[in-house]
């Protein structure tokens, strides 16, 4: 993968995300019913949180801030709980604005960072012995690709949620060829 492929994947993923969100009834944005009883708002907040996290991780790695909280050895499930808690009281508009800002920061990073920083798994010493970046996500670009897969999966999988009028299906995998845990297929 190179910068151009990464940028195309981010753009295509973004288009899919926006198309998925456009099909959701605005009255149901806040209703639980998705993975772990999350709402559409919760999932979009989660996505924005992870988009910003990639930017924060890169910044900490670039400036060799080994004590930065972005580089902490925190289990993924705990990070996801943290993202949910940080966004619980935000309005839908705030979540949308935050996610858009985080997405634009992510694209700026993909456009401007040196390619070695984005794609070389040995570029930063901190990633060599850490679970921070593992498997196919050993680089900032690898994490970005996982975000693209999250977009392409339809973000808001509703296969069995009767209160949604549309269905989305999973069509990607998360790292190392494993299917995403929310996907049946």
Of residues 73 and 158, more confidently modeled:
73
Residue 87 has pLDDT above 80, yes or no: yes
Among residues 73, 10, 72, which one has the least CA distance to residue 47?
10
pLDDT score recorded for residue 151: 58
pLDDT score recorded for residue 77: 84
> In this structure, what are the phi and psi dihedrals at residue 96, rounded to the nearest 5 degrees?
-60, -45
Poorest-confidence range of 24-38, 70-84, 131-145?
A: 131-145
pLDDT score recorded for residue 130: 53
SS3 of residue 185 by DSSP:
coil
In sequence order, what DSSP letters do the residues of 48-111 get, joined into one string? HHHHHHHHHHHHHHHTT-TT-GGGS---HHHHHHHHHHHHTT--HHHHHHHHHHHHHHHHHHHH
- C-alpha to C-alpha distances, 96 to 14, 47, 88, nearest whole angstrom: 13, 10, 13
Share of the chain above pLDDT 70, in %: 70
pLDDT score recorded for residue 15: 86
Mean of the pLDDT values across residues 61-65? 83
pLDDT tens per residue, range 111-122: 999 988 888 878
Residue 180 has pLDDT above 80, yes or no: no
> The pTM is what?
0.76
Q: Domains in the chain, please, with CATH? A: 3-23+37-154 (1.20.120)
Residue 162 has pLDDT above 70, yes or no: no
Mean of the pLDDT values across residues 8-27? 85
Q: How confident is the model at residue 169 (pLDDT cuts 50, 70, 90)?
A: very low
């Amino acid at each position: 993968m190179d910068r151009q492929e990464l940028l195309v994947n981010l753009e295509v993923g973004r288009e899919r995300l926006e198309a998925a969100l456009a099909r959701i009834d605005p009255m149901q944005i806040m209703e639980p019913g998705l993975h772990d009883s999350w709402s559409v708002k919760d999932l979009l907040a989660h996505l924005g949180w992870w988009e910003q996290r990639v930017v924060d991780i890169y910044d900490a790695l670039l400036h060799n801030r080994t004590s930065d909280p972005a580089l902490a050895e925190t289990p993924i499930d705990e990070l996801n709980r943290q993202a949910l808690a940080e966004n619980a009281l935000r309005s839908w508009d705030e979540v949308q604005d935050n996610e858009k800002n985080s997405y634009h920061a992510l694209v700026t990073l993909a456009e401007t960072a040196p390619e070695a920083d984005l794609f070389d798994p040995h570029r930063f010493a901190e990633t060599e012995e850490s679970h921070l970046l593992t498997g196919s996500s050993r680089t900032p670009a690898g994490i970005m690709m996982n975000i693209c897969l999250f977009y392409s999966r339809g973000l808001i999988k509703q296969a069995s949620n009767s209160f949604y009028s549309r269905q989305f299906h999973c069509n990607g995998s998360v790292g190392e060829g494993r299917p995403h845990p929310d996907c049946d297929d």
